[in-house]
Amino acid sequence: MSKRWKIFFVLLVLATVTVWLSVFSTSSGGLKVISCNIGQGDASLIIYKNFEILIDGGPNNKVLDCLSTYMPFWDREIEVVMITHPQADHYTGIISVLDNYKVDKILANALNSSNQSYQLLKNKTLLMGIDVINPVRGTSIRSNLIQLDILYPTESFLAENYRQLTAGNDSGEVSSASSGSLGAFESKLDPNEFSIISLLRFGSFKFLFTGDASVKILDDLATTMSESGDNSINYIKIPHHGSKSALSERFYGAIKIGVASISVGKNSYGHPRPEILDLLKKHNIQVFRTDELGDIVFETDGNSIWTDN
Amino acid sequence: MKIRFGRNGLLVTILFLAFFLRIFFYFSNLPKYVNGTKLRITTRVLSEAIIYSTSQYLKLMGYKLYLPLYPRIYYGDKVIIEGIVEDQIIKSAKLISIDEKRGILYQYRQKIISFFERSLPKSHAALVAGITIGSKSGIGEELWNKLKNSGTAHVVVASGMNVSLVASFLISILILFLPRRKASIFALIGIWIYAVVSGFDAPIVRATIMGSTSLLAVETGRIYKSLRVLVITGLFLLFVKPEWIGDLGFWLTTFATGSIIVFYRRVKKLFKFVPKIINEDWSTTVSAQIGVVPLLYYFFGQFNLLSPVINVAVLWTVVPITIIGMVGGIVGTIFEPLGRIILYLCYPLTSWFLAVVNFVG
C-alpha cells in the first residue's frame, strides 16, 4: 500500500469512528436534569435531545466539565442560559460558557451587580449580541415536549423594587424591564430576593428551580402553585444551598415533593443547615447532595423517573 | 560528555568561568524580601497563566501567585500586582492594573486555543491544545493530576517532541516542492515561529536550538554530536536565563533528552523481543525514564512504575493528534466550520488517550 493510501485509510477509519462516537454520545429520548457538582454555588443543566437549558453557572469554571460530560461532543450550542440572580456563585461560570459555547438566549434579571466579573459578563453578552430576556411570572419558554414556566419574580415586585441605575442608561420606564437587558437597575434589596424561580414541565413531570429564594418568596410561591394546580412536583432544587434563609414550613407543607437536590460545596455557613435537612426528612423527601454524590443526574422518559446516584 | 582539554582548553575554561560568574551574580543580585513584606510588582508577563477552576496561576519575577479568574491575564501583558511575600509565593495578590500588549504570534496562539475550546469538550480541547502547542492553561487540576500520576504529563507540556514533530512534518511537506537545502531553511524558520507560538517555554527553546543545530550540521556537513550539543545548549540557556535553574521543565527536558541519547540504542537492543510496532515508543520512553525518574522522585516524591506501559498505550495517538490539531487549528482560524470538521477527526484519539489516563490516573 502506498503512503498516500495509508494516510487516506487512517483518515477514513478516524472519520468512521468519529461518526459512531457521535451517534453513541447523542442522548436517548428522555429528559435529563443534572445538578452539576461545581462546589459552593448553583448550576443545573437540563438536556432534552439536543436542546439545553443551563440554569446558573456556579462560582468557577467547573460547569464546563459538567457540560462536556453530558452534552454530545458535537453539540456546541446551548439554547437557553438562565442566571437566577447576579451573585458570583451563580453567574461566574457563565462567562466561560459564553467563551466556549454558542448561547442563543440569556434569561436574567435586569438587576445589576457592581462586581467586575458581572460587568465583564454584561459586556460579553452585549458584544456577542446575545438575545436577553428579563422574565417575569407568566413568561414561558417552549421547545418540543418541554416547557419552562417562570413563577417569580412578579412584574409588580420588580416595579416596586427596581431603581434605574444613575449612570447613563437610556431605557425609560421601569415597566420596560421585561424587554431585555442585563444590569440596568439596582435595588436596596438583597439580590436573592430577585431569584428567578422556574418550573420545568415534561409530560406530567415537574421540576422546580429556585435560585436563592427566601422564606417569604417560598411562602407566597406555595399559594401560587397550589392555586394553579401545581401542588405536586417531582423534583426541587433546594433554594440557597440549604440555607436557613429558605426555611419555609408553609411551602414544604403545601407542596408535595418527590426528590430534592442540594447544590452545595465546602462552605463556612454550615450549608446545608440541619434545620432544612430535618424539614425535608419530616416530609419524606429524598435528598441528593452534590458535595456527597458529585453530579446528580435525574432522567425521565415521561413515564418514570430514575437516577444513577 | 567529552570536552577535551586540548586546543580549545583555554576557550572552554574561559566560557565556564563566564558561566559561573553569570549565575553567581544573577543570584547574588536578586532582591531578597523578608516574609511579610508588602510588594508591588510591575512587569511584563512572560509565562502563560494557568487557569484553575477558581483562580489563575502566574509566575512573575520568580514569585508564584494566584489571581481571580477574571480579568484573564495573557503572555505579554504589562501588569502591576500587589501582595505580601511569603517565601516563593505572593499571598493575597491583587491586580492593580493591566495593560494588554500581546504580540501577533501570541494572539494567534490564543486564537487557536480558543478555537479548540469552542470546538471540543473541555478535557479534549485541553489535550489537543497541550499536545499541539504546549498550552497547559486549560488543563485544570484534575486532568493535570491524572496526567502526572500516569507519567504522561510530558505529552501536554511544551516538550521537545513537539519541536521534532514540527520539524519533520515541515520537512516532509516542503521537500515535495523545494530542494532539500531550501526545505531545511524553511523548516528552520518554521520551528522558530512554532517556538514563539508555543510561548517560548524552556523545553521548546531547548529543542528548537538543538533542532536548529542538527539541521545546520546536516547542511554544513559537520558531525553532530548530540550529547555535546545538549550540554552546550543547556549551559547556554542557563547563561541567558539563570532563573531556569529552578524550572522543572528545563531539567526534565535536559535529562530526558540526555538519557534518550545515551540509553536509547542499548534499551532497544535489550527489548529486541518487543514487537516492532511499539518498540520505538517503548524504548524511547524507557530510556527517557532512566533520567527522568530520579528527577520526578526528587520534585514530587513519586513516580509511576507503569509509566512506560501507559506511554506505549497512548503515545501512538500523539503524532496524529498533533498533525490533525495543527491543520485543524490553522484552518479553523480561517474558516471555523471546516476547521472543526478536521478537528473532529482527532476526537476518537483524544477519547482513547483520556480513557487510558482516567483508567490509570
Please state whether beta strands A146-152 and A197-202 pair in parallel, antiparallel, or not at all (unpaired): antiparallel
Tell me which of A16-30, A68-82, B218-232 is least confident: B218-232
Best of A3, A26, A38, A62 to substitute, by most chain B Cβ atoms within 10 angstroms, is: A62
Task: Domain count for chain B, please give it.
Answer: 2
Q: Is B124–A73 a contact, with Cβ atoms under 8 angstroms apart?
A: yes
What's the confidence (pLDDT) of residue A166?
62
Same domain for B113 and B90: no
Please state whether beta strands A51-55 and B38-44 pair in parallel, antiparallel, or not at all (unpaired): unpaired
Q: Is B6 inside a domain boundary?
A: no
The share of chain A scoring above pLDDT 70, in percent, equals 95
Same domain for B257 and B307: yes
- With a CB cutoff of 8 Å and minimum separation 6, the contacts of B268 are B279, B280, B283
Q: Is A73–B53 a contact, with Cβ atoms under 8 angstroms apart?
A: no
Mean pLDDT score, A125-146: 93
In single-letter form, the type of residue at position B313 comes to A
The DSSP code for A212 is T
Chain A CB contacts of B345 below 8 Å: 11, 14-15, 18
Same domain for B178 and B255: yes
Domain boundary among B80, B99, B118: B99
Domain boundary among B99, B118, B140: B99
| Containing structural domain, residue B62 | 37-99
Gyration radius from chain A CA atoms: 21
Chain B CB contacts of A10 below 8 Å: 320
Q: Is A17–B346 a contact, with Cβ atoms under 8 angstroms apart?
A: no
Q: Is A214 inside a domain boundary?
A: yes
Same domain for B276 and B186: yes
- With a CB cutoff of 8 Å and minimum separation 6, the contacts of B359 are none
Q: Is B332 inside a domain boundary?
A: yes
Q: Is B257 inside a domain boundary?
A: yes
Mean pLDDT score, A20-37: 87
Candidate from B69, B119, B348 with C-beta closest to A21 = B348
Q: Are B206 and B238 in contact (CB under 8 A)?
A: no
B 316-345 residues inside an 8 A Cβ radius of A: 320, 324, 344-345
Q: Is A11 inside a domain boundary?
A: no
Chain A CB contacts of B332 below 8 Å: none
Same domain for B200 and B283: yes
Q: What angle do CA B135, B282, B320 make, to 5 degrees?
A: 45
Confidence of residue B302 (pLDDT cuts 50, 70, 90): low
Comparing CA positions, the residue from B138, B187, B184, B131 lying closest to residue B162 is: B131
Confidence of residue B274 (pLDDT cuts 50, 70, 90): confident
- Residue B118's CB is within 10 A of a number of other CB atoms, namely 16
pLDDT tens sequence across B123-172: 999 999 998 888 888 888 888 889 888 888 878 876 777 788 888 888 88
Q: Is A22 inside a domain boundary?
A: no
Q: Is B16 inside a domain boundary?
A: no
Distance CA B171, CA A132 (A): 51
What's the confidence (pLDDT) of residue A282?
95
The Cα-based distances of B187 to B169, B171, B178, B214, B333 in angstroms read 9, 6, 11, 12, 22
Which stretches of chain B are assigned E, i.e. beta strand? 38-44, 50-51, 55-60, 63-68, 78-86, 89-99
Q: Is B122–A73 a contact, with Cβ atoms under 8 angstroms apart?
A: no
Comparing CA positions, the residue from A245, A237, A177, A182 lying closest to residue A211 is: A237
Nearest-CA distance B319 → chain A (Å):
13
Q: Is A101–B124 a contact, with Cβ atoms under 8 angstroms apart?
A: no
Distance CA B339, CA B95 (A): 36
Mean pLDDT score, B344-355: 96
Q: Is A61 inside a domain boundary?
A: yes
Model pTM score: 0.84
Task: Domain count for chain A, please give it.
Answer: 1
Same domain for B266 and B201: yes
- Residue A172's CB is within 10 A of a number of other CB atoms, namely 8
pLDDT tens sequence across A40-59: 999 999 999 889 999 999 99
Distance CA A211, CA B326 (A): 42
pLDDT tens sequence across A139-173: 999 998 899 999 999 999 999 998 887 654 444 44
Chain A CB contacts of B54 below 8 Å: 39, 59-60
Q: Is A136 inside a domain boundary?
A: yes
What's the confidence (pLDDT) of residue B5?
53
Q: Is A12 inside a domain boundary?
A: no
| Containing structural domain, residue A71 | 29-301
Comparing CA positions, the residue from A133, A135, A217, A212 lying closest to residue A180 is: A133
Q: Is A163 inside a domain boundary?
A: yes
Residue of B nearest to A14 (CA): B345
Q: Is B7 inside a domain boundary?
A: no
The DSSP code for A247 is -
pLDDT tens sequence across B216-249: 877 777 767 788 888 888 899 898 888 888 777 7
Comparing CA positions, the residue from A55, A56, A58, A54 lying closest to residue A40 is: A58
| β-strand partners of B39 | B83
Gyration radius from chain B CA atoms: 21
Nearest-CA distance A256 → chain B (Å):
37
Same domain for B218 and B278: yes
In single-letter form, the type of residue at position B122 comes to K
Q: Are A241 and A268 in contact (CB under 8 A)?
A: no
Nearest-CA distance A225 → chain B (Å):
37
Residue of B nearest to A7 (CA): B320
The DSSP code for B246 is G
Please report, for the domain that includes residue A75, its CATH number.
3.60.15.10
Same domain for B91 and B184: no
Candidate from B70, B123, B348 with C-beta closest to A18 = B348
What's the confidence (pLDDT) of residue A139?
94
Provide the number of CB pairs (under 8 Å) joining chain A to chain B: 65
Residue of B nearest to A121 (CA): B70
Comparing CA positions, the residue from B159, B162, B134, B154 lying closest to residue B47 is: B134
Q: Is A76–B71 a contact, with Cβ atoms under 8 angstroms apart?
A: no
Q: Is A99–B117 a contact, with Cβ atoms under 8 angstroms apart?
A: yes
Helix (H, G, I), strand (E, B) or coil at A146: strand
Higher pLDDT, A99 or B361: A99
Q: Are A297 and A34 in contact (CB under 8 A)?
A: yes
| β-strand partners of A286 | A259
Chain A CB contacts of B118 below 8 Å: 76, 99-101
Best of B69, B98, B118 to substitute, by most chain A Cβ atoms within 10 angstroms, is: B69
Same domain for B143 and B59: no
Same domain for B190 and B56: no
Q: Are B250 and B206 in contact (CB under 8 A)?
A: yes
Same domain for B147 and B73: no
Same domain for B145 and B163: yes
Q: Are B67 and B58 in contact (CB under 8 A)?
A: yes
Chain B CB contacts of A95 below 8 Å: 69-70
